[in-house]
Structure 1
Amino acid sequence: MSDVSGLPLIGAAAQRARAAARVLRTLPTDTKDAALAAMADALVERADEVLAANAADVEAAAADGTPAAILDRLRLDPGRVAGVADALRQLVALPDPVGDVVRGSTLPNGLQLRQVRVPLGVVGIIYEARPNVTVDAAGLCLKSGNAALLRGSASAFGTNTALVAVLTEAAAKAGLPAGSIELLPADRASVGELLNARGLVDVVIPRGGASLIQRVVREARVPVIETGEGNCHVYIDASADPETAEAIVLNAKTHRVSVCNSAETLLVHRDVPFLPRLLSALVDAGVTLHGDERAQAAHDAVVPATDEDWATEYLSMDMAVRVVDDLPAALDHIQRWGSGHSEAIVADSARAIAAFTAGVDAAAVLVNASTRFTDGGEFGFGAEIGISTQKLHARGPLGLPELTSTTYVVTGSGHTRR
């Protein structure tokens, strides 16, 4: 076991998780699924405990002046608790990736080669505000045979403590080893220790704002799967149908503003004749528009935009608007200001659609569909830990397969190399 003398806050939890990971990697699917089902049932049965802890967290956060968008992420209600329990049940129904053969062949010398999915081991997740991530991350890690080290925000610590108590008790009764789910202290020092727990932690996944992700990428000595902020764009091509464009833009912006797949910038081709109508629909929905000169000329409610607006993930009822000369100009804007999360085009032109999907660099590209669909559940993956915006190992929603690595199993019959 690795020396943890330099990890006073998380060392014991990391050691327990390391020991649990050795057991979890070989557990049969039935055992893991039974634990997930028991955890889901326990969340529903003990929802009052969780909601009481959450109410205290929300009250304290509101008293500290926490913005409404963050309060929305923090807040649980009976429906949301039922939703996170259902997410665990959905994981039960999904295939277990552990043991899947990615590829295999028989080599010319008779050796049998198989590349097999295996758990990562101990997965550390650092996240902000949303207590549902506690449940999603724990469930995804367990189904994929990993131990979870959870470091949530201080604002949700009471809620997370209640959730982990429910989950660990149910998991233990179902036969999972102690240490399968560990909640870490919610202070800055614990993040630093987690990022330096090389030899105990196999990978760290940050899920939150830009400052958190940048700190993790900058300071980590353990491997990182980088998730990113969602400065998402919707581009309206000159060929777009007006009704389709309006429905998609309103959904992408207003369906739920506090999430990373909501749209923050609207790019509109200069030849779109229905721009005033589209902007009016957004204003009527309560959206504050920050636009360039041509957007301001199209609607008197548009306030001047700055470079800060093009770069901002608002997470609020605000949207930046720019009128562009053509599709290449839209791609140039996205290349400069986008975060590589989700980019959408609304168009009837097959040529425009092909040029956009080929030219934009993002984890998800949506054609005539809202950016709100970039989500593990919507993709049929079940719950997700986050949306990876990097290009190594995994990109897009981080579901079960993305929480595995691979091992090459080479089988011979006394083969020796000459």
Structure 2
Amino acid sequence: MQNFDYHNPTHIVFGQDRLAELDQLVPAQANVLVLYGGGSVERFGTLDAVLAQLGSRRVTTFGGIEPNPQFDTLMKAVEIVREQEIDFLLALGGGSVMDGTKFVAAAAPYQGDAESLLSHGFAPLPIERSIPLGVVATLPATGSEMNMGAVVSHNGGKFPVMSPLNFPKFSILDPSLTFTLPRKQVANGVVDAFVHILEQYVTYPVNAPVQDRTAEGLLQTLIEVGPVTLEQPENYDARASLVWTATWALNGFIGAGVPQDWATHMIGHELTALFGIDHAQTLAIVQPSLWKLRKQQKREKLLQYAQRVWHINAGSDDQRIDAAIDKTREFFQSLGVATRLSEYGVERERIDDVVNALQTHGMTALSETGDLDLAISRQILEDAYAA
């Protein structure tokens, strides 16, 4: 196992009817900005319920954060924070709202050019303070409710924004708040969480059985509850398991002390930026093909994944690996998520644009070993295009 530091200060408030505790979680004298996305939190009364719980505090709202939060939109919120001397942010929504709120939290007190905060990759931002924030989650997918990371879109690219100052102070996870989600968003959430786990698990062995077994249990949970919660959206037990698994998929625990490979995410980001394909859909497109091209580098962990997650024990090593890749693709497809780039109306010639975008954004040495170059990225995209 590799050396690591692990610290997660987020207070999780999990379960049904916990929104009533918001008044105790937000500082009594706080000047609050509530940030949210589209109109669903308004239509279903969630925004009104949150505002009611904030009581007599001074509260401002900011809506319209996009599914891939845009820098220009978030800077409008930054101006509000500065002008109104906001001292607490509350994200109401899914991962994009949480991510956007984290960026606002970091950018508002920052004295330099806020655009420069997009240039640090996975390194911590050079900031000394951030506006404290809380979360009321309405979509299980990204794990942003219990980590320090965010992704912000700007000028056709998607950029990581990381800071230990951006851990939410608390996150309210009430699975019943997700019952009204469209089927597509739930399916995307299952895929997003599944691939988050895979990119911390299917790398190479470092003798980390605690992390491995935890990851395997999370994957099996998603395989079990994903189809159930799609067919029975108000099945509380299934939805609760999905919500909690999505949080654990990216709260840092299973990634502590192990190598991580975020190549699927980095390639997927370019597909979203260029073609507007949902984030989780891009992961379902890229992940099986990436494994097909990287079987040798990931051989031991792919065999472990085949045996422990899918219970594939028969056949040669290559046959078991291929079967595990096929099972993964079939799982995504069973959720209604297409796994071929051609199925999203993208012309094969546009693969050149994706590779060029990867080069422009410095994504030329991806993977847990840093040896996935642009030529391999092109091969992955070609394989992912069509059966």
**TM exceeding 0.5:** no
Q: Determine which structure has greater relative contact order: mean sequence separation of CA pairs < 8 Å that are 6+ residues apart, divided by chain length.
A: 1
Structure with more strand by fraction: 1
What is the TM-score of this pair, normalised by structure 2? 0.30
TM-score of the superposed pair, with normalisation by structure 1: 0.28
Greater fraction of residues in helix: 2
Rg comparison, structure with higher value: 1
